Structure 1
């Protein structure tokens, strides 16, 4: 296994389990503990982890943004359930905006089953996934490429989005809090998401429940009356009651 592949796998484990031990990783990958320590040192310099005695923990700094390829491997079953639920809310003939979140590719795969759609997106992966699909018109925002997320951001992307009014915007985020709203770790990504929200009649926010009660670096938006929150499972009663009071429709993957 190449060193970069091992580092990515370690990041995936950290994303899921929050911590790793040098001895366990050494046995798992059949390399010396010193090799694992060097891997962790590099990940620490990149800002993803904090080294501890005998291992490392995930850096939960609100500005840290995991690479897309790592995020796509995390909570895959939950995201698949969410993607199927989101696709069921999209009608043939609608126009939608789809962001560059790690759930977006799974949603795009489900949308390929639709007969007629217009999809506006800033996700390079979604553009490739939907290319050549009969009955689906795909519009790219253009903009500046962010390598870590394979997304197009910046003023050019926002200028394109602002020219359109669509039926639904499908977004995700890093954190959702009842008081602080919907938040993300990167300002330019947040700007694009907010722009999509403002250009849509209805916003569908797709997130797994691990994102509830977490606040990240920059606010994206507040969900409005008539918007939809799609989760993989039912949240605490406090959330259910608050969403109902605000007129936000809650749908879980179990429904």
Structure 2
């Protein structure tokens, strides 16, 4: 009984930390006093949670609370990213699904946006999907008419992605109609950027293996620059986002020959 109670306490602590991270993703800062009331625990318990999150690189403690660590090398766990900007990603997922034709062969990365897109793709009756995402594999597994191919490779536990030379080798063995992926930041001068080299390398390989790149990027990523430069957009690429863009961005994309897809007003 004692061991069971200990496991329950540990699980509750993990869930609480994940929820705190999700709040930080949305609001950028938290207060110890507010969190202790929210979860009905002591201030000291919350401080320990924040100390743990700080040691993992996700937050920076401040007087009375903490702020989100903007260090572009730190990648939030997929479980947290799934909860962030969900409505925006759902809009993007529907738009991307409309771009995917029956019979298409596509590659998909391990972003939380791709997972949303995979849910929409289950309405298709004939597709081939090659992915390095554990979650996308599970989402599409057993769906009649959709052939799913895993890259294999080394598991990145934070992003639940399969990465490394083995994954890249599998991708390089295929040619597909479309590659669908996201990024951590998109900037006019720096192009697409990501938080680590391994995931960035996978996206570059997917990009080179596809006739058309579909870049699915929610509006919070624009004018942000992360740690690793991934690629510059080129003519024929399709950029899908959840809202209309500023005139500067529209002019830039038009000059580059990149098609912009946004929701109808």
TM-score band, normalised by shorter chain: over 0.9
State how 1:1-255 maps to structure 2 within 5 Å.
Answer: 2-254=12-264
Q: TM-score normalized by structure 1?
A: 0.98
* Secondary structure of 2:95's aligned partner: helix
Structure with bigger helix share is 2
For residues 9-36 of structure 1, give each alpha carbon's deviation from its aligned partner in whole angstroms, at most 9, with x where no partner exists. 0000001111101111111111111111
Q: How much has 1:115 moved relative to structure 2?
A: 1.4
Task: Tell me how far 1:195 sits from its aligned partner.
Answer: 0.4
Report the Cα distance in structure 1 between the residues aligned to 2:220 and 2:37, rounded to whole angstroms. Answer: 30
Partners of 1:3 and 1:115 in 2: how far apart? 42
| Moved >3 Å (runs of 4+) | none
Kindly provide the CA deviation profile for residues 89-146 of structure 1, in whole angstroms up to 9, marking residues without a partner as x: 0000010000000111111111111111110000011111111111111111010011
1:79, CA displacement in angstroms? Answer: 0.4
CA RMSD of aligned residues (A): 0.9
**Cα distance in 2, alignment partners of residues 110 and 144 from structure 1:** 27
Segment of structure 1 superposing worse, 3-12 or 128-137: 128-137
- Structure 1 residue 254, shift from structure 2 partner: 3.5
Extract unaligned runs of 5+ from structure 2.
1-8
Residues in 1 aligned to 2:41 and 2:148: alpha-carbon distance in whole angstroms:
46
For 1:117 and 1:5, the matched residues in 2 are separated by: 36
TM-score, normalization: structure 2?
0.95
Rounded to whole Å, the distance in 2 between the matches of 1:91 and 1:214 is 31
Q: SS at 1:103's partner residue? A: helix
